[in-house]
Amino acid sequence: MSNRFVGVRSAVKNSAFLFATQAASIAIRFAYLFVLARILSPARYGALNYALSWYLLVLPLTYLGADVILSREVGLSRERASSLLGATLGMRLIAAFLVTLGLLVTISLFVDDPSLSTLVALFSCALVGRSLWMWSASVFTAFEETRLTLRFEVITRLLELTAVVIVVRLLGPDLYKIAIVHACSWLLQGTAATLLVFRRYEPRIHLPRLQWLQLLATGFPGAAFSISTAAFFQLPIILFGQIIGTGNSLGYFALAFQVITYLVGIPTVIASASLPVLSRSAARGDGKDRIAAVLLAAATVLGGLGLVLAASLVGRPVVTFLFGERYAGAALVLQHSLWLLPLASIAMLLQNVLFSNDVRSLGAKFGPLVGLAVMIGLFPTLTQSRGYVGALICLAAGLALWIVFASIESFRMGFFKMRTARLRLN
């Protein structure tokens, strides 16, 4: 085969394992969602996800752009991998400790319901384990061994689902015990994956403060991207609960939003899996990164539109069949929410294009945060006046602004010039 498409094939192969990981994870988490929704009332389901969203919201603060740093730097040079792995792990552990402490202080100030604040505190115990797993998965992606990610994700998610079913059967649908099982499963997954990274890649743990500052500066665009993504799909549940309350409406909104979050993860992980190859292609200037980006964009947009059409035709009967008539209100929320999927996919894909080309302009760094600020600013007024529709309008406005910033920067760097890229044959 001509080596013209070697870069594209490598990106597709690496993405295929992560796509399989995400697909398996979605299937297992949907089963998890199904079990919880069937045994919990919409109000209690909403309360559970309100608490869960608090810790998922702050989780990216432990991230610090590590996957972008590792994917780009390891993709360009394997020689300094050991030092880089050790430095990013040290940063990750310190950040996880500080973020957990900060979350506990925050909920003591802003969550008035003692039962909800206790539930958030239990979920926060998963922060260290999940942070370790995210770092390990970034290492596997950087070394293009994403089959390991697939194995870990499938095994531990199945263990978590099985444990939740057993706990619920034996002890009843206690929200605290569900949170404890969740935290333990992530601690197990993060610890086991980190031990494997040490065995395979031998990270050299050290505390180079100067290198940390350089890594923080390098990883800032990726960190902004991760924080914005989490905020776009976790903060609305928290804000909706604060504005509307933790009744049935929050349960409908949370159920629909969980489905959207899982689906958005597919184009996100594909784009992230492509980063090592796209980074090398961008450095060579051979145009293969452009081909991969166009293919990914077409696939994500068409897939999103297909889901919108399917939801409009069979969304309500499917939701009521799976979760019962008491969740019928979630079907309409889901049908309208799916329109966000193409927007979110395009925003994340363009941002990964900027990462792979190491674009460090203000638009690339702050575009996601500006879109997030607009969403937050509009949210209280529109949600109070129009309910969940107003919340979705806020999200669409924020994502559209993010796309505008990312598109401008992509055009400025010449990525979408109409001329055909000249591909090198060697």
Give 420's contacts (C-beta < 8 A, 6+ positions apart).
none
As a whole number of angstroms, the distance between CA 69 and CA 88 comes to 9
Q: Name the DSSP class of 417.
A: -
- Measured over the CA atoms of residue 377, residue 383, residue 388 and residue 393, the dihedral's sign is negative
**Closest by alpha carbon to 81, among 138, 122, 127, 38?**
138
* Predicted pLDDT of residue 219: 60
Residue type, 412: R
Residue type, 322: L
Give 231's contacts (C-beta < 8 A, 6+ positions apart).
57, 372, 376
Matching residue, tokens 């802003």: 110
Q: What is the CA radius of gyration of the chain?
A: 21
* Predicted pLDDT of residue 343: 84
As a whole number of angstroms, the distance between CA 126 and CA 270 comes to 25
* Predicted pLDDT of residue 266: 64
Q: What angle do CA 97, 366, 387 make, to 5 degrees?
A: 85
* Predicted pLDDT of residue 3: 47
* Predicted pLDDT of residue 247: 83
Residue type, 190: G
As a whole number of angstroms, the distance between CA 370 and CA 363 comes to 9
- Measured over the CA atoms of residue 90, residue 92, residue 94 and residue 97, the dihedral's sign is negative
Q: How many helices (H) and strands (E) does the chain have?
A: 16, 0
* Predicted pLDDT of residue 280: 52
Quickly count: other Cβ atoms within 10 Å of residue 293's Cβ.
23
Provide the residue-wise pLDDT of the chain in tens; the chain has 426 residues: 444 444 455 555 666 666 677 677 778 888 888 888 888 889 999 999 999 999 888 888 887 655 556 666 665 555 566 777 777 788 788 888 999 999 999 998 888 888 999 999 999 999 999 989 988 888 887 777 778 888 888 899 899 999 998 998 888 888 999 999 999 999 999 999 999 988 887 777 665 554 556 666 666 666 677 777 788 888 999 999 888 887 889 999 998 888 877 777 666 665 555 555 555 555 555 555 566 666 666 666 676 677 667 666 666 777 888 787 888 888 888 888 888 888 887 887 777 777 666 666 777 777 888 898 999 999 999 999 998 899 999 999 999 998 898 888 877 776 655 444 443 444
* Long-range CB contacts (within 8 A, 24+) of 291-294: 291/5, 291/8, 291/421, 292/7, 292/8, 292/11, 292/12, 293/349, 293/353, 293/415
Beta carbons of 189 and 149 less than 8 angstroms apart: no
CB half-sphere exposure, 343, CA atoms < 13 A:
23
**Closest by alpha carbon to 153, among 48, 30, 22?**
22
Beta carbons of 300 and 267 less than 8 angstroms apart: yes
Burial of 68 (0-12, 13-18, 19+ CB in 10 A): buried
As a whole number of angstroms, the distance between CA 108 and CA 116 comes to 10
Chain centre to alpha carbon of residue 332: 24
Structural domain spans, the chain? 3-412
* Predicted pLDDT of residue 415: 61
